[in-house]
Structure 1
Amino acid sequence: MNPHHHLHESTLMSYAAGALPASLGVVAGAHLEQCPLCRQRLRDAEAIGAALLEQTQPDAATPGRAGLRAAMLAQLDALPGVPDSTPPVPRQRPHPGPADPDHLPVSLHPHFGTSLKALRWRWMAPGVHCIRAPAMPELILLRIAPGKCLPMHSHGRSELTQILRGAYNDALGLFAPGDVADLDADVEHQPVTTPGVPCICVSALDAPLVFSGWLARKIQRFVKL
């Protein structure tokens, strides 16, 4: 898989800093699992962040900092039942998943399970089915029929959409499996799914969509997008 549409630099920096909203972080993780280029860019962002943090740290030799550190270590040593050499819990890094085409990215497993085959879709609109993450309703899986033209819309703030299967075209180009649409309020588009197989994608929003047509605006409150 060789994606052609990638995460924006600001999204990667926020992901590296743990500052992305939770639902956007899930979709970013799904893309990172499938994109070696963005995994390398993430490593670069983490290295830059670590260097900046190091430059802003006060001198460890100052008496105040040394005293605080010693007091903290003494309190930790006094805690009962805590091993002296407990290994740190590493931050889970995105990694390539199995080659099974029905296998979902690892970051989606807590919300949707491991396989496309096991999903139970719900009707949203003609040709459009969805599944919302139970504990994170702003995170949604979509299955859109081939050749379907979605309403023209823009975005209240940010949207991340990762293509899992099928594809769609819009003013920004062709989005195929592995590609991510990293969009903000300045983007207005009208996705049209390609012929052949349904387009299956995972999307996260941090604000409702802004539809251009009156009919789409009328039904928006029912589909909750």
Structure 2
Amino acid sequence: MTMIQDTIKHHLTDALLMAYSAGTLPEAFSLAVAAHISMCDECRARLGAFDTVGGTLMENCDAAVMSADSLDATLAMIDLAEARPAERDVPLGGGVLPAPVRAYVGGDLDSVRWRPVGMGVKQAILPTKGDATARLLYIPAGAAVPDHGHKGTELTLVIRGAFEDKVDHFGPGDIEVANEDLDHTPIADIGEDCICLAATDAPLRFNSWLPRIAQPFLRI
């Protein structure tokens, strides 16, 4: 783990960490954030700072008149907090998958139920609530994910191996935050198969016709 900590160079944005701290992220995004935090001391420390600030603000807030739907809103926030993956009761011991991801898979890498998506690439969609989705991706060494853009935001965390695109090179623990402005073709490094966790809040925008035809069936 120390070696991974020393090589992580792509981190979470302050906006994502603050939203995670406040419990306002979709579950799929919360999972990606929690998985990165479990691998990254720097982002874990930054999250702790945001949690502290949030707690202080709550303590110093003046009393306010409650609206008629305040109870329902509070219960919804409790549901979000309970779904916060970093706080699930999961073992923190060794394994390929980060502990928050193992809680969704029901084990480590040998428990993942992969489904082929073409060109040797495989995926496993994880059971998250809401419109955003989370999936594990297996990209064979040297293989490429089809060229695509984004209709929303995509968080891609490298768990094992590495990939490169027009932005940079991403290794274990790195997380890429992509939005509507980015079109790219991630390519796994030659030396090792790449395993990633990807969370999206909108379908990808593929630039060739074959992936577009398969897209509804693959739920990408």
Question: What is the identity, as a one-letter code, of the residue corresponding to 1:162?
Answer: L
TM-aligned CA deviation for residue 41 of structure 1: 0.8
Structure 1 residues 131 and 175 mapped into 2: Cα distance closer, same or farther (>3 Å)? same
Q: Which residue of 2 aligns with 1:155?
A: 150
Question: What is the identity, as a one-letter code, of the residue corresponding to 1:178?
Answer: G
Structure 1 residues 121 and 115 mapped into 2: Cα distance closer, same or farther (>3 Å)? same
Uncovered stretches (5+) of structure 1, i.e. residues with no partner: 66-88
State the structure with more CA Rg.
1
Q: Which residue of 2 aligns with 1:77?
A: none
Match of 2:39 among 23, 29, 34: 34
Uncovered stretches (5+) of structure 2, i.e. residues with no partner: 67-81
* Equivalent runs, 1:24-63 vs 2, <5 Å: 24-58=29-63
Match of 1:124 among 117, 123, 148: 117
CA distance in 1, matches of 2:218, 2:139: 14
Q: Which residue of 2 aligns with 1:17?
A: 22
* Alignment RMSD: 2.6
Report how many aligned residue pairs link the two structures.
195
Comparing 190-199 with 45-54, which one deviates more in the overlay? 45-54
Q: Which residue of 2 aligns with 1:7?
A: 12
User: Is the Cα–Cα contact under 8 Å of residues 148 and 193 in structure 1 kept in the other structure?
Assistant: yes
TM-aligned CA deviation for residue 223 of structure 1: 1.9
| TM-score (normalised: structure 1) | 0.77
TM-aligned CA deviation for residue 96 of structure 1: 9.9
| TM-score (normalised: structure 2) | 0.79
CA distance in 1, matches of 2:60, 2:147: 46
CA distance in 2, matches of 1:195, 1:40: 33
CA distance in 2, matches of 1:185, 1:55: 38
SS of residue in 1 equivalent to 2:56: helix
The CA deviation string for residues 148-187 of structure 1, in whole angstroms up to 9 with x for no partner, is: 1222212121111111111100112111111111222222
Comparing 18-27 with 209-218, which one deviates more in the overlay? 209-218
CA distance in 2, matches of 1:31, 1:110: 14
